Structure 1
Amino acid sequence: MEASRELPVVSILLVDDRPENLCALEASLEPLGQRLVCVSSGDDALRAVLDEDFAVILIDVKMPGLDGFETIELLRERERSRHIPIIFLSGYSDDDHVLCSYSAGAVDYLLKPFNSDALRSKVSVFVHLRQNELALKAAHVDLERRVEERTAELVASNKALEREIIERKTAEQRLFEQAHHDGLTGLPNRALLMAHLDRAVAQWRRRAARGFAVMMIDLDRFKSVNDSLGHLAGDQLLTSFARRLESCLREVDTAARLGGDEFAVLLDGITDLRDATRLAERIQHALVRSFSVDGKELFASASIGIVVMNDSYRRGDELLRDADTALYRAKEAGRARYQVFDLDMHATVVAQLALEADLSRAIERDELVLHYQPIIELERGAIVGFEALVRWDHPMHGLVLPTTLVPIAEETGMIRQLGQWVFASACKQLGAWGQPDLEMSVNLSAQQLAQTDLCSELERATREAGIDPGQLKLEITESAMMACLTTAKQTLSRIRDLGIAISLDDFGTGYSSLSYLHEFPVAELKVDRSFVQRIGSSEERPEILRAIVSLAHNLGIQVTAEGVETVAHLERVRQLECEHAQGYYFARPLEAAAARDLIVTGLPR
């Protein structure tokens, strides 16, 4: 029953010229629950089938006008009605009449008066057939609709998938570009350069490729651009330099930005060193032209280190390391030039690495020592203090001086440990001497000045040594102060508040800026020994010395002359009214015991 309710309602055509017969038919078939269409003639029947599809037609044989046989003949001629089942209704029971009905195309022949149940049973067969036919067609239509919808969904899904694949590939490419290219200049970054470099090394070692070289390039004095014009201007300069660098290269070469103002170039397919040096010369020549940065005309130079591939290299980072060493040598030689890496540099690098490794254990092995050079008050000729100078008593290399020791400590990150040891040892020694009128000067590097806990370290060192903070003086160079200008003023002010004096070391060799002499809490200015050494020679510039001393005195700053080695030096710095002096004329840096004896005996007259 549930299934029949789901089947569609169909139409049944009843044809009879007598109304009472139509009423009887309707009464008999009404229980089937289908649509019953009643007409009274053959003509009406023919018109009815033009407007509607019928599951079955019940037609009277004898009717005025078109009788049943004529009507069925016309129905069978039409495509629309040819296949509709037709049941004849007749009061004639002779066999000829029945046979003629079947021959005409009727599917059944019922005699009047008919049995209602029998009629319904016969008609219901054709109703069900038509209902199933329509249901099947509807199922086909629904299936086709669903197939079309699903196909459309699949097409849409495929298109969406294609878009997603494209978007994902685009995103992956974008991520690859971001991961392997510099965001500022668009050049390959270190990771991509190393991939190219390692591949080049592997191909070269298989003898599957020609020779190649690696360049390290560093813009000279780039920091001054950032400090004076700002980081945006610095970024513009880096971008402009990157474009100019690319213009110097061949298609097979790879330029990369490693970070900051440091660039690298992989020169592929070269035949000899001259190919690399020619490119270096092209780059130097390209930098002759100025850069337009933030509406200003800037000139820039570059230092370049070059290394050529040979059998000693196994990895790309080894080449990059040696190119960086050559770059460092180019900077040492005066900048704006190139330097080719050689075996002597390699030996120096190996020795440097060994020193770096040894330094990490120098403190625990008690290999560090302090020597003390006296500082003399010129008016009285008396010792007023000492400068503590760190030495490394290396078991193989002997005494390693600060000019070598401090850069290694800064490079390896050990400057903090070294500084802590120097502070503690110098203050402890001053306390041991028991001379409250003596001062101890200790050198401070740029990295130490940038330490957030520097004041705490100094306070602890003086407290544990039992000395007055006013006995401690920190010497800092102009370049170290300018390297961390943003924090230097605050840090130095806090140091001064502790009672510790600030001495500006090597004045005249760096920026020699009047503004920071006025702005920073500087108590003493130390004239660089290079000025003192020229005294009495043709290169002496007395007006410069006078200007420096006069400037300091006008600002209420005392002056100490470094590098006093002769009587002429001493006389001249006295004439200039320097308050203090130090140098070999008075004493070389002394061990602690010798310095103590000098304190007791005083300087020889």
Structure 2
Amino acid sequence: MALLEEQDALNEQLIAALYATRGPILVGSVTVTAVIAGAGILAGHDPVFYALAVLMAGLGVFRFETHRMYSRARISADIAFDAPRFERLAMIGAWATAALIAGFSCYALWRYPTQPVAVLAIAQSIGYLAGISGRNTSRPLITKIQVLISGIPFTIALLLTLEPAYILIALTVLLTTTLTFSSTQIIHQMFIARFRSMKELEILANRDALTNLDNRRALLFKLDHELASRKSLTLLSVDIDHFKVINDSFGHDVGDALLVSIGETLSSCLASGEMVARMGGDEFMIVTSCGTSEAIELARRVLARIGSQRRIKGRSITATVSVGIVLADRSMTVEEALKRADIALYKAKSDGRNHFAVYTAELSAEHDEHLAFEADMREAIRTGQFQLAYQPIYNPRSGSVTLVEALLRWEHPTRGHISPATFIPVAERTGLIRVLGAWTIETAARAALTWPRNVGVSVNVSARQFESDHDLVAVVAAILRRTGLQPRRLTLEITESTLIEDAPHIIDSLMRLRTMGVRIALDDFGTGYSSLSYLVKLPIDIIKIDKSFSHEIEVSRKVNALMAAITDLAHQLGLLIIVEGVETEPQLAAMRRFSLHGIQGFIFARPMWDDELLSIIKERVPSDRSKPASVGADPSTSAPRKRPKAASGSPR
């Protein structure tokens, strides 16, 4: 099929070459007509020459008009383009011209062999023969027959004069004819080679070199053409989830092989007439003429086929994609259609990835709100709207503070208090968590310098802070050098979900941090599926038991049994245990039955600003306390009492 399409395209180009010289055809016809008419005058008004001149003029008009018809047929969608017909018309015009010029030269040599008219005819014929090799060479057959029609009679006429000079000219014409035959074939071959080279360059310009799919340029051209012809299309924007992690973890050769594999899978999902292109990076775009409901079924098929595990260069890799769907029509530009596809894709990503979403006007408004929120966050970082609150962690035996957790807070000038559960995911998605994270660690470290030397500070870190292009270990080392805080007084908290991103790289970073003296805590322990295995694999110092254990410890025998097992295992592994979310006296009493190293919760203290913290740190909590400090709030999201004046300065 591809070969037939290439041959059709080549034939069209060959025929186009026949009609590429409308101007020279007109000039040539006028010139030859003038020469023949001039010969008639020189010959004493010979009517034969005048008749030949009239025929040449008519033939010139015919050839010029066929060129005009060809041009109109090529540019008009209303006129059917009949390539063979135009090729026949070109043949008729070329061969008729050759016959007329041959007739002119033969008659002149026969009737006036020794007069200036003969010289004029010879000059005209030789000039015509020489010019043939530069025209019509896209079709060698036309040129060769032209040469034969005009050259052979002319040569015979020269020889029949028996004039030595004319005989010499005849021999020269025969040599010229032979050379024209060979040069015609060479020029034709060069024409085809050039066409194929241009075709290859065109393919390269419209093909993705890695996946061999259409590229962004080809897709934009198709969309522009289809939408201009008033056709409605459905676009499916397909983006690989966590592709950067795969690239960083397994290497770019594996990443490239995965792109090729997913490109092949997408192609296998398509029906005839549908198109898939690689837009760049890890993004693909499917173009289909089917409606939204069929596009949804296609998206489900894509998710199912790509989501299965595959072998890539000897490795088992499970990759998923997110899909954004939009119906595009002539009412929108290509740029608007692509933007809407991106908005739908963004929604699919924010819904947890490995999903699809269909564009709606509501999605667009939601997207605009996300952009506004992101802009607010960038402004908050620039103007110092973020603050740190601190919640003490108490030793249940001594009643003294052993560690303080730093908690990021945002008081927006107009939005008010914004929960970390709202802004942290946005910061992670946009990469702003790197800036916020570094600022949090350094601010907390400087605050810890004002506390007693036996009290450390704990800071939560995100998986995005461990990415290979953001060296968290170097960031922490630089902060410790600038602040002078002893590494053992800094604890970094990670969650199980952090390790899902890139466990080998993150574990290596944690080991390097521990080598520096920084302590590592596994936060929200007990909420995942593989927590016990992480106790063995991870270079951690502290386990922070999730608050769900604290809330059920009074009533659940299973929770009590799990607490006993976890504390026993932790002690054998040399790990410290901290329990979060203790809010009531019964919860505290139940937790004290276990060998814990720290208790965190509202029963002792709520999150507070640094200027309130120092007096709390210096006080011991009585072991027989009977009244909680506060009950019922969530220590991870609750804001401290409103500060009289917000901290200023850029969080760097």
TM-score by length of 1: 0.63
Question: CA-to-partner distance for each residue in 1:289-333, whole Å, 9 max, x for gaps?
Answer: 98788899998876544444587987123212221133125427x
Deviation at 1:224, TM superposition (A): 9.5
The one-letter code matched in structure 2 to 1:434 is W
Does the aligned pair in 1 maintain the 2:578–2:596 contact within 8 Å? yes
Following the alignment from structure 1 to structure 2, what is the Cα–Cα distance between the partners of residues 187 and 538? 58
Structure 1 unmatched ranges of 5 or more: 1-132
Deviation at 1:200, TM superposition (A): 5.8
Counterparts of residues 441-452 of structure 1 (less than 5 Å): 441-450=458-467
Counterpart of 1:176 (choices 191, 197, 206) is 206
2:409 is the alignment partner of 1:387: no
2:454 is the alignment partner of 1:437: yes
Structure number having the greater helix percentage: 2
Does the aligned pair in 2 maintain the 1:439–1:471 contact within 8 Å? yes
Following the alignment from structure 1 to structure 2, what is the Cα–Cα distance between the partners of residues 373 and 139? 110
Structure 2 CA distance for partners of 1:354 and 1:221, relative to 1, 3 Å: closer
Structure 2 CA distance for partners of 1:243 and 1:424, relative to 1, 3 Å: closer
Question: CA-to-partner distance for each residue in 1:497-521, whole Å, 9 max, x for gaps?
Answer: 3322122223344563666644543
Does the aligned pair in 2 maintain the 1:531–1:540 contact within 8 Å? no
Does the aligned pair in 1 maintain the 2:399–2:620 contact within 8 Å? no
Deviation at 1:587, TM superposition (A): 2.5
Local SS of the residue matching 1:364: helix
Local SS of the residue matching 2:574: coil
Question: CA-to-partner distance for each residue in 1:21-73, whole Å, 9 max, x for gaps?
Answer: xxxxxxxxxxxxxxxxxxxxxxxxxxxxxxxxxxxxxxxxxxxxxxxxxxxxx
Local SS of the residue matching 2:429: helix
Counterpart of 1:474 (choices 480, 492, 508) is 492
Q: Which has the higher contact order (CA 8 A, sep 6+)?
A: 2
Local SS of the residue matching 1:380: coil
Structure 2 CA distance for partners of 1:597 and 1:322, relative to 1, 3 Å: same
Following the alignment from structure 2 to structure 1, what is the Cα–Cα distance between the partners of residues 356 and 599? 40
2:231 is the alignment partner of 1:209: yes
Does the aligned pair in 2 maintain the 1:217–1:327 contact within 8 Å? no
Counterpart of 2:345 (choices 303, 306, 324) is 324
Question: CA-to-partner distance for each residue in 1:333-372, whole Å, 9 max, x for gaps?
Answer: xx5x544444544343222211211222223312110011
Question: CA-to-partner distance for each residue in 1:201-248, whole Å, 9 max, x for gaps?
Answer: 666xxxx334x4443456678899989999888877766665555455
2:391 is the alignment partner of 1:373: yes
Does the aligned pair in 2 maintain the 1:371–1:389 contact within 8 Å? yes
Following the alignment from structure 1 to structure 2, what is the Cα–Cα distance between the partners of residues 312 and 169? 32
Deviation at 1:457, TM superposition (A): 3.2
Following the alignment from structure 1 to structure 2, what is the Cα–Cα distance between the partners of residues 339 and 466? 50
> In percent, how many aligned pairs have the same letter?
33
Counterpart of 1:592 (choices 592, 610, 617) is 610
Counterparts of residues 21-420 of structure 1 (less than 5 Å): 144-145=174-175, 148-149=178-179, 152-153=182-183, 155-178=185-208, 183-184=210-211, 186-197=212-223, 208-210=230-232, 212-217=233-238, 245-246=266-267, 248-258=269-279, 263-270=284-291, 273-281=292-300, 283=302, 304-309=323-328, 315-331=336-352, 338-420=356-438
Structure 2 CA distance for partners of 1:224 and 1:507, relative to 1, 3 Å: farther
Pick which of 194-203 and 349-358 moved more.
Answer: 194-203
Larger radius of gyration: 1
Does the aligned pair in 1 maintain the 2:403–2:455 contact within 8 Å? yes
The one-letter code matched in structure 2 to 1:419 is G
2:574 is the alignment partner of 1:556: yes
Does the aligned pair in 1 maintain the 2:206–2:217 contact within 8 Å? no
Structure number having the greater strand percentage: 1
Question: CA-to-partner distance for each residue in 1:86-105, whole Å, 9 max, x for gaps?
Answer: xxxxxxxxxxxxxxxxxxxx
Local SS of the residue matching 1:374: strand
Local SS of the residue matching 1:178: coil
Local SS of the residue matching 2:383: coil
Instruction: Determine the structure 1 residue equivalent to 2:588.
Output: 570
Counterpart of 2:518 (choices 475, 491, 500) is 500
Local SS of the residue matching 1:435: coil
